[in-house]
Structure 1
């Protein structure tokens, strides 16, 4: 005798596979359904009638597998109840409910236990137990029935409601909507429907199992590994695979390695419901963001096939591993991919980076190396601090930097910030904020230098002993007259003295402020000029770097404690752990900013024109792009629309492989897209950021979600298919084996490091304090023994090597202001009168964290505009505005504020490019408006802070 429908309603949907079946199995189950009422029969008939539709299959995968970029349907109780974060307190409550009734949830495609399929499976388990005890007449059936109703009300209905609302908002296929409606009806009223699922999936009648004891909550040491200025201690509190809380350094260290708001928000960033879940292949047009789920075996096989085809046809120079990686730990997927390529003949290499191309390229011409920044601890010795375009309060620029600046402020040392925007650093630390027009820093430096020189405030003894080319007396032999810096400053050659009045007209800082600033900096002994990196990500970035170094030299602050050489990056004091990439057999390298040019015009690129090294010219364009954990294909590269045009032309780049945690705008361009685990789901190492005396153990908190896999696992398999498995592994077949090996290798160089077990248990190690590094102190104290590593052995204010290039306008032999494309003096300002400034916001690390809704409260994505500029455009605070130029358009709210100077608008960089149907970006990705047309003259670096735009209200 068949039980009535009310009693069997959970049996029909008890199997979790109702939400994990392949589309074909799901389709067949619905065809075999036996609806008993007209209403349910109509719904099932509607679904079956369109079940052959390819669009329905794609929407089914978008719903359950996350295969479409703009479809985000919550399938988990945690996404519908409380905080919308996977593996949160709601997930734990669901697990505890399961355990109370003796149920262990099955593994369903790596889903968290509160997955909608698991919820139905649990109710099927309870219903089968209820039927068993009903037959036994032992009184437990009623108790189980109450549990079914309680669970339904607490979790299942909320999940279904959220799921239905999101599916409707995403305009999924009507049959999908009917299916979810059918489930809602089924739960709410026990609709008369039987569905024939495979018998093996149906839970047999069974007695209720004993309650399962829940293990206690535990704390696990880990660490942030993003490309963020802070590398901080993270203490994750885990129970039953749920990550319930993020803590940080508890005070054992001084200064503490504390997480900022970004680190404390890691759960909402990385346990986000937008996670990539399964390997996928592209099914729509490239860039459209439409994919189909495939197996890992199929994915790796397709990669190997395209790898061989492209290599055989075009050679190793056609393969390019992209420069960015969200994982900056010791074990990086992009390094592993380069290792495999190097074993297989090599790849097109790269030099420079997006962050510091200009400072890294030009400093060796000045000082002979890139060690031009003292340790942060040395700033405590200064009597005056000039933060030039430097914003550590938001970027951090090292976990310990703000601690030092706070101490300096408490001591009463004068701190001045130069920036077009009154940054949080200016608010928190500065005695004075000086606003400046973007890309005019060299003009301000020249105006200051004029005052320092003409008023005799310079350090003559230092210049005489250590500098070449400052004035005519210190020039190299055989150079014509008036090529020195002072000759330029006084206008001996061009007839224009670089007075404060001259500088003020360009940079927007009034002449009296320039004079006072110059005198303050020159007379404070010692004085530290500490530049940020944003000022060299401009069209004339190399000149800015040289001009600030010139000021340090002019005042004799180089090589003294508390002074500073105005170099850009500090130097680490301890060896780091890095996955070995091996040697690249192919010699050719491109400047990393020119990768999109190498896709479209590779065979036209030469060493003379494009800065290629190792070969005279490229013989092929980039045909295979590998982008692991980075968003540089689209979001973080300049000119988004042009990048998409280039990438979406499949006749140019023929294969794009991406691995990531989320379907970013870059991942949407993939042909094969692979899911990666977050740092909470894998082991790694985290080093200090640029400087610092510690190394942290990134200990895995839980197993990877869904079918995500660490890069080592699948790259090792790929290496095997390509015939390099043994050489790739070198006898270390797992990532854990490599992790242990690399630590022991580091320990052999640093015997003070603890044993492996202690290192893991403590979550890292802090090295004993060392004497702070002072840039070029050795050269200053012992010039005969330790000359500067330049051709002259001195600091080269005038560079003979640059002079020999014969390009005095774009690449002058001395530091000087050079106007740049879309800078303050470009005639294009007649059309686009506002300079657009980007900055690294406290709520993101590049594009990481933009999906974190809590951090939107920290700093909403909006355009900063000065009240005077807003008034002439009839823009009020909070109005929606359009920011545009010839390259694209952005629609965002406006923030009218005096914290940005007149003539400049500001937009935080890193927002995820999100176009509407007209191609207007509605999230605020600044690279919709930036340009690739004019890389910097020397380094061919990133000029993305030099842009002209117009703004109008969107009414």
Structure 2
């Protein structure tokens, strides 16, 4: 059973025409007719033959598109995959024009799953490394009994170290059993949304995301800022397409001419559909916009006085906050907070005025940094301020702008623009991080407990300092901060010289390619040599598996059944078993059960099948009361109906969508001040923000300003270009990179502007080297005007493939003494952009905030806007 509303394109245009462009969007009439049911599927008899079984299943990968697939199975073998959106022609106009439920049509990734299931390079049995980690020729097949014996021996050896250290010196990645044996090691930080989370948790309050995507249909003007939903969130594309069809102006801002810019951008009076600032400079453009809005008196002073703290000099407030101090547990309510002199936003804007000679000078300054004409910045500011409501749509992860060294301050500038104009808390306004599509979830019942044993929380270190932690025992924090955090959270005293020892990595279930996706490759190779043991569950010989001692073959989602929510939380889905587990592969949870049995831990399902567990969950599942107020007739389907359709959405009209920020009265926001913070006293008190606790433009480290000024890199070299690492259609992070049918269609290239290519004698298709202090890649050049000059794009998360013949002289601080050293490293021929990264955290990383927040990790990853160079020849340095 699916609860939905349908809106045809004809009905939509008819309604808009009758209402007039200036009025509010009249959803009530057009959406009055609600229907229950599911999209009718094509009969399998019409497609194949009567012996073929058609199974609906959710495509459970980390791409955020939440697609539904149909698997065609005969005699236990997967024959074909189609999208769950393939519907009969009759009546299809209504379904095609339905905003929700959006047809969860699969993409190239989904259609390639059959090739992935039956891939010849799939891991089929346990593999033991017999030489050194990283050497593919050293792996040999062993039995499951031997593999489990070896794994458990290493785990027990590591657990025994708890007596000496007070914790288990093993880093548990994903779903492992380490927490049931004592405090162990984990991480904080998020590769995707860390900077956004830090900004929103500290400025809006804990667990308040931006507006839901469907709320753009209530907007009068949309700026898609550094987001490419056509590659990452298809359901958002459908909604944004509807917004475009309704005539809502859309401007796309990105350093690359993306598919979203091509398809969704409409432009506005005086504004082109695509605006292209240089990477890492978006915040300068926003600062100039804020200044123009303030100087032209287009800001909403009454709103700012009521909702904001830290905008005006001398702002002071007696807090009526609804939360307690996350560290001390004391109430914030009743405390007086005053913005320090020089830290208010108006004082920052006044400083820009003085330094650059007034409003026009500030616009010129932003233009020189961003490469965007001053007139365009001015027009964008005026259009955004005068068109109410207006939405800054930057998606989950805010694309490239959020994943830069100054990414938190970019997000903070979004907050500033929305708050200055009164858009922060109104329908049709808001910012990214984009919230759930409608905000309501089925309350899924709990699964039977796997164990009654107590679970200990991990001792967390910064994910993006992982190599430094392995080498030295410390991340970005001072020794005093590290000791205080661990003592406060874990009740473990690390002593006067606090360090964390990492002796083993247990990369368990439900995780990504840890080695490949997070932080810099070359320092990681050195650091992982120090580890005693690496245990990995995997489906393919990924980079993480390659650098492991023992690899256990895991099942795909097609070989097991379970409930899961969509990646943006908008629906409940069923992953249905399509085929039985192949070869000697085991589901992640079954591998844990086998290990638990050998370790003497009472853990497991004790004979319950996947379906029995799911039935138990469904018995206590329910519809939230808040949703019943919107749709009193809503009811859950039977378990068998749910399994058959595999998708359930609790849907709302745009006028009823849940916008969390709107439920807080001014002065009662879940921040320390109770208001939207332009200056964060708590962030300042914690001392974790690398560039201060106030909303500002912060130049990106090793970004355009450094390059333009001729500043040398930390290693003493000069680079003239920047690189970005966009998401791509053919990969979900590192997944799918080894599928030939996708490799043939989507080559891994470095994308560059014709002007940059001509200066270097590079033609389209030439093999070139992309390099900086930290490493060197070798991959084909793709020359196109879609890329702005001075910037190259390297699609993220290709698998690291070290050359056997070509070496490069990298120069970085591998021993973490503050001085870079020369390192002879292999050239990466796989095109893994992480080879060019520096191990660095950004934002305001704080494990206390990560524990308190349900929206994601604290501390962001720096992957965009850093300096590099491109050459047709392998660079040599004297």
The structural deviation recorded for 1:559 is: 1.4
- Cα distance in 2 for partners of 1:922, 1:910 equals 13
Out of 772, 786, 789, the residue aligned to residue 657 of structure 2 is 772
Q: Where in structure 2 are the equivalents of 1:55-134 lying within 5 Å?
A: none
Aligned pair in 2 of structure 1 residues 764, 607: CA closer, same or farther (>3 Å)? farther
Quick one: which of 577, 581, 592 aligns to 1:700?
A: 577
Quote the residue 2:426 is aligned against: 560
Match of 1:319 in 2: 170
Q: Structure 2 residue aligned with 1:740, among 615, 618, 634?
A: 615
Cα 1:832–1:645 change in 2 (3 A) is same
- Change in Cα spacing, 1:293 to 1:730, as seen in structure 2 (3 Å) is closer
Q: Which residue of 2 aligns with 1:468?
A: 309
Residue 675 (structure 2) aligns with: 794
Aligned to 1:406: 241
The match for 1:752 is: 635
Match of 2:128 among 262, 265, 281: 281
1:909 aligned onto 2:796: yes
CA gap 1:513/1:609 in 2 versus in 1, 3 angstroms: farther
Q: Are 2:735 and 1:828 equivalent residues in the alignment?
A: no
Looking at structure 1, the residues matched to 672 and 562 of structure 2 have their Cα atoms a distance apart, in angstroms, of 42
Structure 1 position 351 matched with structure 2 position 185? no
- Root-mean-square deviation (CA, aligned residues, Å) is 2.7
Partner of 1:921 in structure 2?
Answer: 828
1:524 to 387, 391, 398: 387
User: Aligned pair 1:673/2:525, yes or no?
Assistant: no
Q: Which residue of 1 aligns with 2:566?
A: 688
Pairwise mapping of residues 584-623 of structure 1 onto structure 2 (< 5 A)? 584-586=455-457, 588-602=459-473, 606=478, 614=489, 617=494, 619-623=499-503
Question: In the TM superposition, what is the alpha-carbon distance from 1:620 to its structure 2 partner?
Answer: 3.4
* Cα offset, 1:767, TM superposition: 2.7
- The structural deviation recorded for 1:391 is 0.6
Q: Secondary structure at the match of 1:472?
A: coil
Cα distance change, pair 748–400 in 1 and its aligned pair in 2 (3 A):
closer
Report the alpha carbon displacement of residue 915 of structure 1 after superposing the two structures with TM: 1.7
Instruction: Say which SS state the counterpart of residue 725 (structure 2) adopts.
Output: strand
Q: Does 1:270 align with 2:111?
A: no
- Structure 2 residue 219 is the aligned partner of structure 1 residue 382: yes
| Correspondence 1:491 to 2:351 | yes
Question: Does the C-alpha gap of structure 1 residues 565 and 749 become closer, same or farther in structure 2, counting only changes over 3 Å?
Answer: closer
Q: Deviations over 1:554-612 (max 9, x none)?
A: 11101111111444544852145787798642462223333333222226765656695
Give the aligned partner of residue 549 of structure 1. Answer: 415
* Cα deviation 1:112-168 (Å, max 9, x = unaligned): xxxxxxxxxxxxxxxxxxxxxxxxxxxxxxxxxxxxxxxxxxxxxxxxxxxxxxxxx
Q: Is the 8 A contact 1:537 1:944 kept in 2?
A: yes
Change over 3 Å in CA distance of 1:739–1:597 after alignment to 2? farther
Judged with a 3 Å threshold, the aligned counterparts in structure 2 of structure 1 residues 549 and 352 are, in CA distance, closer, same or farther, namely same
Which of 850, 866, 869 pairs up with 1:950? 869
Contact 2:536–2:548 (Cα < 8 Å) also in 1: yes
Matched, 1:219 2:54: yes
Flag the 1:221–1:587 CA change in 2: closer, same or farther, 3 A: closer
Please point out which of 490, 515, 522 is paired with 1:634.
515
Aligned residue in 2 for 1:573: 440
Structure 2 CA distance for partners of 1:317 and 1:577, relative to 1, 3 Å: farther
The 2-side partners of 1:931 and 1:844 are apart by: 23
Change in Cα spacing, 1:916 to 1:602, as seen in structure 2 (3 Å) is: same
Alignment-derived partner of residue 153 in structure 1: none
| Larger displacement relative to structure 2 (856-865 or 452-461) | 856-865
C-alpha distance in 2 between matches for 1:360 and 1:222: 31
Shift of 1:685: 2.4
| 1:681 positional shift | 1.5
Match of 2:140 among 292, 298, 304: 292
Alpha-carbon distance in structure 1 between the residues aligned to 2:101 and 2:685: 50
Deviates more, 1:477-486 or 1:526-535: 477-486
Distance 1:901 1:468 in 2: 38
**Offset of residue 634 of structure 1:** 2.0
CA 1:737/1:359 → structure 2, altered by over 3 Å: closer, same or farther? same
Q: 8 Å contact 1:658–1:670 — kept in the other structure?
A: yes
Residue 748 of structure 2 corresponds to which residue in structure 1? Answer: 861
Alignment check: 8 A CA contact 2:161 2:167 kept = no
Render the CA deviation track for 1:371-414: whole Å, top value 9, x for unaligned. 23112211101010001101101111xx4211111101111211
Q: CA deviation at 1:756?
A: 2.0
Decide which moves more: 812-821 or 896-905: 812-821
Residues 768 and 540 of structure 1: is their aligned pair in 2 closer, same or farther, counting only changes over 3 Å? closer
TM superposition score normalised by structure 1? 0.71
- Structure 1 position 747, deviation (Å): 4.3
Distance in 1 (alpha carbons) for counterparts of 2:474 and 2:294? 49
Cα distance in 1 between the residues matched to 2:73 and 2:686: 60
Q: Is the 8 A contact 2:221 2:250 kept in 1?
A: yes
Q: Pick closer, same or farther for the CA change 1:409–1:901 going to 2, 3 Å.
A: same
Quote the residue 2:287 is aligned against: 446
Query: Match of 1:536?
Result: 402
Q: How many residues align?
A: 715
With over 3 angstroms needed to count, the CA separation of the structure-2 counterparts of 1:577 and 1:502, relative to structure 1, is farther
Work out whether residues 374 and 772 of structure 1, in 8 Å CA contact, stay in contact via their aligned partners in 2.
no
Deviation at 1:875, TM superposition (A): 0.9
The offset of 1:473, in angstroms, is 5.7
* Superimposed CA distance per residue, residues 610-658 of structure 1 (whole angstroms, 9 cap, x where no aligned partner): 69552675553221211135443321122212211211x1xx3211111
Q: 3-state SS of the aligned residue for 1:729?
A: coil
Residue 828 of structure 1 aligns to a residue in which SS?
coil
**Match of 1:317, SS?**
coil
TM-score, reference length from structure 2? 0.77
Cα distance in 2 for partners of 1:805, 1:456 equals 35
User: Higher relative contact order at CA 8 Å, sep ≥6: structure 1 or structure 2?
Assistant: 2
Return 625-634 or 716-725, whichever deviates more.
625-634
| 1:790-818 Cα deviation digits (max 9, x unpaired) | 1221111122223445689x432321111
Q: Aligned partners of 1:710 and 1:361: how far apart in 2?
A: 34
Q: How does 1:25-36 map to 2 (within 5 A)?
A: none
Q: CA deviation at 1:882?
A: 0.7
Post-superposition shift, 1:699? Answer: 1.0
- Give the aligned partner of residue 724 of structure 1: 601
1:415-434 superposed matches below 5 A: 415-431=250-266, 432-434=273-275
Q: Do structure 1's residue 392 and structure 2's residue 269 form an aligned pair? A: no
Does the aligned pair in 2 maintain the 1:420–1:435 contact within 8 Å?
A: yes
SS of 1:951's equivalent in the other structure is strand
Residue 342 of structure 1 is matched in structure 2 by 179
Does the 8 Å CA contact 1:802/1:811 hold for their aligned counterparts?
Answer: no
Is the deviation greater in 386-395 or in 251-260?
Answer: 251-260
Going from structure 1 to structure 2, the CA distance change for 1:493 and 1:730 (only over 3 Å counts) comes to farther
Structure 1 residue 494, shift from structure 2 partner: 7.5
Q: What secondary structure is seen at the aligned counterpart in 1 of 2:648?
A: strand
Q: Kindly tell me: are residues 946 and 626 of structure 1, through their superposed partners in 2, closer, same or farther at Cα, counting changes over 3 Å?
A: farther
3-state DSSP class of the match of 1:425?
A: helix
Distance in 2 (alpha carbons) for counterparts of 1:229 and 1:395: 6
Deviation at 1:736, TM superposition (A): 4.3
Structure 1 residue 914: Cα displacement: 1.4
- The CA distance in 1 between the partners of 2:340 and 2:315, in whole Å, is 13
